[in-house]
């Protein structure tokens, strides 16, 4: 009898395990500050798991060092290119890790097939799932990220939201308020940790541009690389923009491959005022964003960071799942219309318009670098 009682007491006071899982880099940058905060607090044992293909680096060594994560992760190696293939690999890999680690909670970061696989595998293994950045909706069901977001949220029993739109969306979909926690944006926690390191670097000098005298162009969505016609449209758009401001454009692997495939590498390289560069590390990228006159993107990457840093952001998208970056931030949806992009670029480049936009923009509620701390306090209460 005494042995049984003693065993139960040990189980009662055992440190709870929390498995943090991410697929893409955006998910990894949400995961890192929470892992660090949990490790520092000691209330739970965090285990980081990254699903990535061969050669894919979700967190560079320098970023991992900033969050004390060097050598602290489990890995699921993905060999498939298709979403369904990656989903199957993550299901198998996650099941193996869950059986080995026996976590009390699985937290899912991101909105790709790897994140969805982690959520489904956890439910199948009988482990509760927390969806991080829950409730974000673009309502574009043609987008795979949107479909994954909805399925992850449906699988989760705890929903950690980063902005008020997430709360409204989840409640309208039937999620009870008791299962929703407004934590704030973990991407801004990462920004708060990494920005001091970025501020130490004269990144503009490394790339031969002057602060606030260039625009940063980050184009990586598949729509622009789907064929020669879309690339030629982009070429014309960038020629027009380069006549208004110098452009600094990191080449993503997908974009570089598309240019080579259609024989347009030379044409892009010869545009006056457009400088093509290798893709910088994330800390360097933050330094370039800080010093840019505006940001041109075709995905949601860096929209929150631009809002917090008061850098005007022109998004070549019809919708975004982060309406707060538009309602009170610096983000402007310009779609794929060349004239609209040029007109908006003129607006932000005019001194009075740029100043007015900066004054108008605010930081959304709880985008304060303290989201991880709020989540840690929640986990202390519920685990």
Mean pLDDT within 68-95: 87
Instruction: Give the 3-state secondary structure of residue 14.
Output: coil
Task: Find out whether 130 and 160 touch, Cβ atoms under 8 Å.
Answer: yes
**Does the structure show a pLDDT above 50 at 295?**
yes
The percentage of the chain sitting over the pLDDT mark of 90, rounded to a whole number, equals: 67
Confidence of residue 351 (pLDDT cuts 50, 70, 90): low
Q: What is the pLDDT of residue 151?
A: 97
Task: Find out whether 34 and 20 touch, Cβ atoms under 8 Å.
Answer: yes
* 143-147-149-150 Cα dihedral, nearest 10 degrees: 140
List, as one string, the DSSP characters of 110-124. SSSHHHHHHHHHHHH
**Does the structure show a pLDDT above 80 at 4?**
no
Task: Find out whether 105 and 375 touch, Cβ atoms under 8 Å.
Answer: no
Give 233 or 129, the one with higher predicted confidence.
129
Q: What is the pLDDT of residue 9?
A: 42
Instruction: Give the 3-state secondary structure of residue 329.
Output: coil
Which residue stretches of the chain are H helix? 2-12, 25-41, 61-66, 83-101, 113-124, 144-155, 164-172, 186-199, 203-207, 228-242, 253-261, 265-269, 282-291, 303-308, 324-327, 338-349, 351-360, 371-382
pLDDT digit string, tens, across residues 160-200: 999 999 999 999 999 999 999 999 999 999 999 999 999 99
Residue 125 backbone dihedrals phi, psi, to 5 degrees: -90, 0
Give 56 or 327, the one with higher predicted confidence.
327
**Does the structure show a pLDDT above 70 at 5?**
no
* Domains, the chain: 2-184+367-382 (3.40.50.2000), 203-360 (3.40.50.2000)
Residue 6 backbone dihedrals phi, psi, to 5 degrees: -60, -40
CA atoms within 13 A on the CB side of 233: 14
pTM across the whole model? 0.91
Q: What is the pLDDT of residue 116?
A: 94
**Does the structure show a pLDDT above 90 at 53?**
no
Task: Find out whether 118 and 111 touch, Cβ atoms under 8 Å.
Answer: no
Closest by CA position to 154, among listed 86, 108, 193: 108
When mean pLDDT is compared across 24-33, 55-64, 131-140, the lowest value belongs to 55-64
**Does the structure show a pLDDT above 90 at 41?**
yes
Q: State the first-to-last Cα distance of the chain, in angstroms, to the nearest integer.
A: 27
Give 328 or 128, the one with higher predicted confidence.
128
Q: What is the pLDDT of residue 14?
A: 73
pLDDT digit string, tens, across residues 354-377: 454 555 568 999 999 999 999 999
**Does the structure show a pLDDT above 50 at 67?**
yes
Confidence of residue 257 (pLDDT cuts 50, 70, 90): confident
Q: What is the pLDDT of residue 52?
A: 85
Mean pLDDT within 86-111: 95
Instruction: Using only the alpha carbons of the chain, give its radius of gyration.
Output: 22
Give 167 or 62, the one with higher predicted confidence.
167
């Amino acid at each position: 009898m005494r042995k049984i009682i003693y065993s139960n007491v040990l189980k009662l006071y055992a440190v709870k395990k929390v498995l943090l899982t991410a697929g893409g880099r955006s998910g990894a940058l949400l995961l890192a500050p929470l892992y660090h905060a949990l490790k520092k607090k000691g209330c739970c044992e965090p285990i980081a798991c990254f699903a990535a293909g061969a050669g894919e680096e979700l967190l560079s060594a320098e970023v991992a060092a900033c969050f004390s994560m060097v050598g602290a992760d489990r890995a699921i190696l993905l060999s498939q290119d298709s979403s369904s293939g990656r989903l199957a690999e993550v299901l198998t890999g996650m099941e193996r890790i869950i059986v080995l680690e026996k976590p009390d909670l699985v937290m899912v970061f991101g909105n790709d097939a790897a994140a969805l696989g982690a959520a489904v595998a956890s439910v199948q293994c009988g482990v509760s799932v927390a969806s991080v950045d829950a409730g974000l909706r673009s309502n574009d069901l043609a987008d795979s990220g949107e479909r994954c977001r909805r399925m992850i949220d449906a699988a989760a029993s705890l929903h950690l939201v980063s902005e008020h739109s997430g709360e409204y969306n989840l409640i309208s979909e039937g999620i009870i308020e008791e299962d929703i926690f407004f934590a704030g944006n973990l991407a801004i926690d990462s920004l708060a940790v990494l920005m001091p390191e970025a501020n130490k670097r004269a990144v503009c000098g490394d790339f031969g541009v002057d602060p606030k005298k260039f625009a940063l162009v980050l184009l990586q969505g598949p729509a622009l690389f789907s064929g020669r016609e879309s690339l030629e449209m982009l070429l014309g758009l960038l020629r027009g923009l380069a006549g208004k401001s110098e452009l600094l454009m990191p080449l993503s692997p997908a974009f570089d491959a598309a240019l080579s495939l259609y024989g347009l590498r030379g044409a892009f390289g010869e545009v006056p005022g457009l400088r093509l560069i290798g893709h910088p590390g994330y800390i360097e990228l933050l330094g370039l964003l800080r010093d840019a006159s505006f940001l041109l993107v075709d995905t949601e990457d860096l929209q929150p960071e631009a809002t917090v840093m008061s850098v005007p952001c022109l998004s070549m998208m019809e919708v975004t799942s982060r309406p707060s970056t538009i309602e009170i931030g610096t983000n402007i949806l310009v779609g794929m219309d060349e004239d609209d992009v040029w007109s908006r670029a003129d607006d932000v480049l005019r001194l009075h318009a740029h100043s007015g936009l900066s004054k108008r923009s605010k930081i959304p509620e709880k985008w304060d670098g303290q989201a991880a701390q709020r989540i840690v306090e929640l986990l202390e209460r519920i685990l």
